Amino acid sequence: MFLENTVNHTEQFGWIEVICGSMFSGKTEELIRRLKRAQFAKQRVEIFKPTIDTRYDDDEVVSHNDSRIRSTPVQVASNIRLLANDVDVVGIDEAQFFDDEIVTVCNDLANRGIRVIVAGLDMDFKGNPFGPMPALMATAEYVTKVHAVCTHTGNLANYSFRKSANDKLVVLGEIQEYEPLSRAAYFKAIREQQIAKKDINLDE
């Protein structure tokens, strides 16, 4: 369960919260929930996302079930440091797509007394730690791992399986391109994909 930091008014300091998990696990939904609560409390909130993420909207952070919040797209992580002025809370979505500087940026913001809430995929489609996410999780005060439901077994899913044979690390997509799978279902699907690939190579 996520517990918010108790504020010591004599020693105000920021902190980092990381929300991670597979695709379709509700990461962005949870990010938006926390940010809207902060806005309701009249806190000054700024939200950022990488310019590469244009799946639903160019300027808004949008969850799979269409929850939305206004954001500022940025090309590189260092831009966040320049734009996050006079704020109480900074939200960052799709953090896995940022360069490694995002870790330093988040820590710099927290050291300035800002609450930083970061959401991102913890693993890529190959099941490997994704970009700067491990370092963000290591330096955060709070880490929340959310899970999807496996489309094959109904168990908890923590893997994002890519249905196509595309090997590029970054391929934007939704349910047509990816599906959440449990550990057993994921490795079974990977084996089947490898066998199918070998059969194609033999035919050629």
pTM: 0.84
Mean pLDDT value across residues 88-104: 95
- CA atoms of 93 and 100, how far apart (whole Å): 15
| 3-state class (DSSP) for residue 106 | helix
Domain 15-146 annotated CATH 3.40.50.300: yes
Q: Kindly tell me if the per-residue pLDDT of 202 is higher than 70.
A: no
- CA atoms of 6 and 32, how far apart (whole Å): 21
Catalytic residue, chosen from 94, 141, 177, 204, is: 94
pLDDT of 139-154, one tens digit each? Answer: 999 999 999 999 999 9
Asked if 192 is an active-site residue, the reply is no
Q: Out of 8-17, 85-94, 101-110, 150-159, which region has the weakest mean confidence (pLDDT)? A: 8-17
Q: Kindly tell me if the per-residue pLDDT of 191 is higher than 60.
A: yes
- What per-residue confidence (pLDDT) applies to 201? 59
Taking a C-beta distance cutoff of 8 angstroms, is the pair 17, 115 a contact?
yes
Q: Out of 27-41, 47-61, 130-144, 155-169, which region has the weakest mean confidence (pLDDT)? A: 47-61
Q: Kindly tell me if the per-residue pLDDT of 100 is higher than 60.
A: yes
Q: Delimit the domains of the chain by residue range.
A: 15-146
Q: Kindly tell me if the per-residue pLDDT of 80 is higher than 90.
A: yes
Taking a C-beta distance cutoff of 8 angstroms, is the pair 151, 23 a contact?
no
